Structure formats: structure tokens, C-alpha cells
Copies of this chain bind each other. A is one copy, B any other.
């Protein structure tokens, strides 16, 4: 008759499995670590999870995370609304912003096509991007998905959809190394790739 752990500890170990890549053994270790050595960190994380889960929504224009209806960048009327840059994640967007080479607006896919994982166009909500790009103001769409197989497939698919609707479509130049993921590439390389972007 083995003793069971206290229920709030079991619940914590179980809940930690929601973290990507965390199995039963590491969930147990993380729970012991937090409860033994870092309760204030555990409380801060607990409150942050609840706060973000309640507070974050998707920007109605660009789809990134925001606490408002329209995010700060989309609300900035000094940006050039005729150019729309499509990225996979908010981290990719932040990298591009750091290059200071782009003054247009963004659309954040929050994903990518991944046929091997069964992630198709409907799962990534490309319909929202198409509607956004067809606002009559956007003239050019810059595809800045990653230069991985999945990012390239996404760009290829989007290019066809957007060109069929009469939009000019470009892709970051191949200054980005093959197989590279934007957020791990240095800012200078991304800056050059943005300047050298080519029509596709």
C-alpha cells in the first residue's frame, strides 16, 4: 500500500505536463524544485499564467497577441499601410522590427503549414490573412516566413493565393541562410535580406 503524494502536489505534477516536452519524470522534478526552492517563483508563474490567459487576445488586424482590440503597432498611423509583412510568430516580428528596415504593417500567422503534422491552410487561418490583405490599401505583401521547409511551403502557398488576388508579393532575399530560423539569425543578415527582397 504505497502512500500517495498530497493532492495539490499531484495536481501540480500533472498540470506541468502541459509544458512542451515535459514528461512525468521531469514534471515531478520541476514540482519538487519549485516547492522546495522557489515558492515565490511558483506563485509569480501561477499568477502570470492566469493573467496572460485572461488578458491576451489576438489583434483584429494583425493577429498578434495584444491586450487591446487592435495592437499598438497596427494603431500607429505613421506606418505605411500599403505594405504588409507576413511572419510566423511575434518573435520573428520583433526581430524584423529591430532591423529598422521595414515601416509597413504586419500579419502574424501564429503558425505555418506543416503537412507532416497534419497542419493545413485551415488550421493556420489563412482566410484571415487574405481578408486583411484585401482591404484595398495593401499593395504589396512581403513573405517573411522562415526559410525552413515548412516556412518555404507556407510562403509558396501564400504567394499563389495572394497573386491570384492581384497583390504584389515579395519574399525576403536569400541573405537568410538556408534552413535558418529568423529568430536565430543575426540582425544584419535579416536587414540585408529585407532590403534585397524580391518579387515572386
Contact = CB atoms under 8 A, between A and B. Distances in A.
Interface of A: 2-9, 11-12, 14-16, 18-20, 25, 28-36, 38-39, 41-53, 55-56, 65-67, 71-73, 89-91, 93-94, 97-98, 110-111, 183
Contact of A98 (B2, B12, B16, B35): B2
B65 A35 contact: yes
Given A30-B19, A32-B90, A91-B32, A11 B43 contact: no
A96 B14 CA distance: 22
12 contacts: A2-B97, A3-B93, A11-B52, A12-B49, A16-B45, A16-B48, A18-B41, A19-B45, A36-B111, A42-B53, A43-B50, A43-B53
B46 A6 contact: no
The 7 closest A-B pairs by CB, nearest first: A18-B41, A46-B49, A15-B48, A2-B97, A46-B50, A8-B55, A12-B52
**Stoichiometry (number of copies):** 2
**What does DSSP make chain A's interface, helix, strand, loop or mixed?**
helix
A18 B6 contact: no
Q: Tell me which of A29, A48, A67, A97 has the highest count of chain B C-beta atoms within 10 A of its own C-beta.
A: A48
A46 B53 contact: yes
